[in-house]
Structure 1
Amino acid sequence: MAVTSQHEQYAAMLEEWQEMEDALIGPRAISGGGVTYLPKTSGMIEAESLAATDNSPLTPEQAKQLYLAYKRRAEYPLWVKDSLRTMVGLVSRQEPEIVLPERMKALEHEATCDGFGLKQLYLRIVSDLLTKGRKPLLAEFDDAGNPYIATYTAETAPNWLTSNVGGRQDLTLVVFSEKRLKEGSGADEFNPEYETVYRVLDLIDNQYRVRLLNDAGSEIEEAEYPGLVGGSQSTPLNFIPVVFAGSTDNNPDVDEIPLQTMAKAALKYYQLSADYFASLHYTSHPQPWIAMNGDGDMRVTGPMAAWMLPEGGTCGYLEFQGAGIEALRKAMQDQQNAAAESGAKVIDIGGQESGEARKARQNDQHSALYSVCVTAAEAVEQMLRYIAYWMGMKDAEVTKQVIFKVIPKFSKEEVDAAMLQVVYNIVQSDRAPNEVLFESLRKAGLTDKSDEELISLMTTGGLPLPEGVD
């Protein structure tokens, strides 16, 4: 097996992760994706094929412009980015319980290699779980012997293996891909070049080993066998200090992406909008035609082009009727409704349910925000315990002295405000029907008024929105 080999679950999800990454970046990435996200129409394909032939009335550049104009008119909504910001904002109000021994106290305020504390790390994990369903974490020590938690993206952990170790299914191999600055006489400090290297973590004879390999699988640096701090190389670490945080649980398997349904709806809206706005463009720009006998003189005058025709000449417009425009508009609204509903489902934690009913439903709906908060906190706690054990603490000490817990306690008001912010953003983004927002207000118990009454309130700014929704 080559170091560049990919786990089958990784290979299956790579395209989905890229789509979610582009959804977060927004219109620039989606438009830059070209035909990946917005296929050409059959007419555009035919025009480009015709332009490539001899004696074509179209040049290749003119044929290319047909698609570029079509793509520029399309509109990609920022539903995923706006919803993620609302959800992480809701989570950021939760204060984690942090208990650390004295020699690990510094981690509370400086836990990552770029200097962020444990709460900021926790919020990063939540964000990645909502958009990728996965966040790999690695326990490490810097050159000064200080512990930290290295973070990777779902896309930079291409391979892993688990085996039965002492009766448990534990990681026996993890491969991370990393970008490394190229060194050499031709290096340009203003335009640096990078190469991909692979950090390979495995267990050899129940001993943790770390290697850095190139694409060919050759070692770039000498292999390391980290031992317990305060011990020696003859006191090996007998596990791989990696946790794959997930949206469902923290085992190495790839989990579902909570915000994927919303991203799919936004992408479909983008594709529909290309046809919708192209149709509107054609209806507002009818094709003029002129019919004359012989070589009569025709003149065009004035800023709005009044035509002066010779005797017997006729003219008119070929107008695009656009009978399907209303169907396109309805389909776009359907996608907006689907996005609003999916966002509300992810954020819904069942504030009015009993504890047992909520627990049962959450067990059935693992990708809810509540579940993501819990698994993210468990992943951070597991990493801290790995570090504590690595630093020489006994199991009993680790359990008592190393704690990172977040028990989400969202108030009904906070949940209603966050859910409605997601819906409100989508409704206010362009032409989404107000009825989507009105129905959400009624579900939240904020009003029992009819659609007509709420429309009247909108004009006066009296809509019953929770505090913080804007």
Structure 2
Amino acid sequence: MARSPLIRAYWVLLPAENITNWRTARVHGDPEALVQVVLKEMTSVPTPDGFGRLDVTAYRELALVDGIYQQRVWTRSDPALVVSTTETPWTPGEWVTPTRRGTPFNFIPLTFVGPTGVTSDVQKPPLEDLAQLVLDHYLHSADLGWGLFLTALPTPWVSGAKGTGPLKIGSSIAWDLEKDGRAGMLEFTGAGLGAIAAAMAAKEKQMAVLGGRVLRDEAPDLLIADVRLGAFNGLQLIATGTARIPTIVVSGFDDAVLQADAKAFGAEYLVKPVSAAALLELIEQKLADATRRVVPS
């Protein structure tokens, strides 16, 4: 790209695992400017016999050299890996200087995108705790399912059966036992499965606290929606709910059609802006009405 004026620059998304190393320093007043980045790549080289291709690892180094952005690729001295990889040294390629309209860059054109910002700091993902809870919930679910498979159904047992052949069981089958023979059904009576089920319920509550609302099974007390949400139509949201949930529809458009649509879905219609006191009063009124409908007088 740096050597051909006909090739246009483009964005490349890199997974975090491929950024193996980076270094920052103060440059042009920026205390956290990138001065070196090392990216792990896969490249294809011919096999020693010349009839195949082999994928090998290479490292692309992006660096500010005397204030100018340059890059080079590090590869094994023997790309075909004829020599042991533990003995083959890494060798750098030639420096290449990318340009923009014939002018070199004075910065490394790479931006870190983290979970909460665009800094190079290693940050804890916001969903890590929730992901761990989901994994634990899955493991408990697997343990519970396996335990139920082994213990949920009664197991027949026989002592003193005549003969050595297998015994069949069914509604039209009778067993002929010896004089002192006995038969019965074994059933699981331990508390282990109950403990697993209780642990799963506790995990679900923790996930709800951390934002895993997909597992929430109780209905909300009140639904407030905007008729024209950015990514979802408020009337569609109301339509997916239940008629037992009090609903308030808010809109910034004084449109008779929207008012009619909102009322058709059984919603109260408000025109923004609305004062906080008026909105809270309406919410309290709706909650009181819902309570009177649920609690017998």
Give TM class, smaller chain.
Answer: 0.5 to 0.7
Is 2:96 aligned against 1:224? yes
Alignment map for 1:158-177 (pairs within 5 Å)? 158-167=20-29, 168-177=31-40
In 1: Cα distance, 2:116 partner to 2:3 partner: 29
Q: Is the 8 A contact 2:35 2:63 kept in 1?
A: yes
In 2: Cα distance, 1:334 partner to 1:161 partner: 43
Task: Please tell me the residue identity of whatever aligns with 1:212.
Answer: V
Classify 1:228/1:301 alpha carbon distance in 2 versus 1 (closer, same or farther; 3 Å). Answer: closer
Partner residue, 2:58: 197
SS class of match (1:201): strand
Classify 1:187/1:264 alpha carbon distance in 2 versus 1 (closer, same or farther; 3 Å). Answer: same
Alignment map for 1:121-136 (pairs within 5 Å)? none
In 1: Cα distance, 2:222 partner to 2:129 partner: 21
SS class of match (1:197): strand
Higher RCO (C-alpha under 8 Å, 6+ residues apart): 1
In 1: Cα distance, 2:129 partner to 2:22 partner: 27
2:160 pairs with 292, 303, 310, which one? 292
Classify 1:322/1:249 alpha carbon distance in 2 versus 1 (closer, same or farther; 3 Å). Answer: same
1:178 pairs with 41, 44, 47, which one? 41
User: RMSD in angstroms over aligned alpha carbons?
Assistant: 3.3
Which stretches of structure 1, 4 residues or more, deviate above 3 A after TM superposition?
A: 139-143, 285-289, 301-306, 443-446, 460-467
TM superposition score normalised by structure 2: 0.62
Q: Cα deviations across residues 2-52 of structure 1 (Å, max 9, x unaligned)? A: xxxxxxxxxxxxxxxxxxxxxxxxxxxxxxxxxxxxxxxxxxxxxxxxxxx
2:6 pairs with 128, 133, 144, which one? 144
In 2: Cα distance, 1:182 partner to 1:462 partner: 65
Is 2:57 aligned against 1:187? no
Alignment map for 1:9-88 (pairs within 5 Å)? none
In 1: Cα distance, 2:201 partner to 2:3 partner: 52
Q: Is the 8 A contact 2:45 2:56 kept in 1?
A: yes
Is 2:38 aligned against 1:214? no
The unaligned stretches of length 5 or more in structure 1 are 1-138, 345-422, 428-433, 447-459
SS class of match (1:150): coil
Q: Is the 8 A contact 1:269 1:332 kept in 2?
A: yes
Is 2:142 aligned against 1:274? yes
Classify 1:302/1:333 alpha carbon distance in 2 versus 1 (closer, same or farther; 3 Å). Answer: closer
Q: Is the 8 A contact 2:75 2:91 kept in 1?
A: yes
Alignment map for 1:54-453 (pairs within 5 Å)? 144-167=6-29, 168-184=31-47, 185-187=50-52, 193-214=54-75, 216-219=89-92, 221-231=93-103, 236-292=104-160, 296-297=162-163, 300-301=167-168, 303=170, 306-343=174-211, 423=213, 425-427=214-216, 434-435=217-218, 438=219, 441-442=220-221
Q: Is the 8 A contact 2:41 2:57 kept in 1?
A: yes
Q: Cα deviations across residues 381-430 of structure 1 (Å, max 9, x unaligned)? A: xxxxxxxxxxxxxxxxxxxxxxxxxxxxxxxxxxxxxxxxxx2x434xxx
In 1: Cα distance, 2:128 partner to 2:4 partner: 36
Q: How many residues are paired up? A: 216
Q: Relative to total residues, which structure has the larger strand share, 1 or 2? A: 2
SS class of match (1:255): coil
In 1: Cα distance, 2:205 partner to 2:66 partner: 55
SS class of match (2:72): strand
Q: Cα deviations across residues 352-396 of structure 1 (Å, max 9, x unaligned)? A: xxxxxxxxxxxxxxxxxxxxxxxxxxxxxxxxxxxxxxxxxxxxx
Residue 324 of structure 1, CA deviation:
2.9
In 1: Cα distance, 2:206 partner to 2:130 partner: 7
TM superposition score normalised by structure 1: 0.41
Task: Please tell me the residue identity of whatever aligns with 1:203.
Answer: L
In 2: Cα distance, 1:180 partner to 1:465 partner: 60
In 1: Cα distance, 2:181 partner to 2:52 partner: 71
Residue 287 of structure 1, CA deviation:
4.3
SS class of match (1:240): coil
Classify 1:147/1:310 alpha carbon distance in 2 versus 1 (closer, same or farther; 3 Å). Answer: same
In 1: Cα distance, 2:191 partner to 2:153 partner: 16
In 1: Cα distance, 2:200 partner to 2:208 partner: 13
Residue 175 of structure 1, CA deviation:
0.9
Residue 230 of structure 1, CA deviation:
2.8
Residue 465 of structure 1, CA deviation:
9.6
Q: Is the 8 A contact 2:2 2:96 kept in 1?
A: no
Q: Is the 8 A contact 1:141 1:148 kept in 2?
A: no
SS class of match (2:134): helix
Q: Is the 8 A contact 1:161 1:172 kept in 2?
A: yes
Residue 286 of structure 1, CA deviation:
4.1
In 2: Cα distance, 1:333 partner to 1:142 partner: 61
Task: Please tell me the residue identity of whatever aligns with 1:162.
Answer: T
In 2: Cα distance, 1:211 partner to 1:464 partner: 62
Q: Cα deviations across residues 234-265 of structure 1 (Å, max 9, x unaligned)? A: xx322111110122221111122122222111
Q: Relative to total residues, which structure has the larger helix share, 1 or 2? A: 1
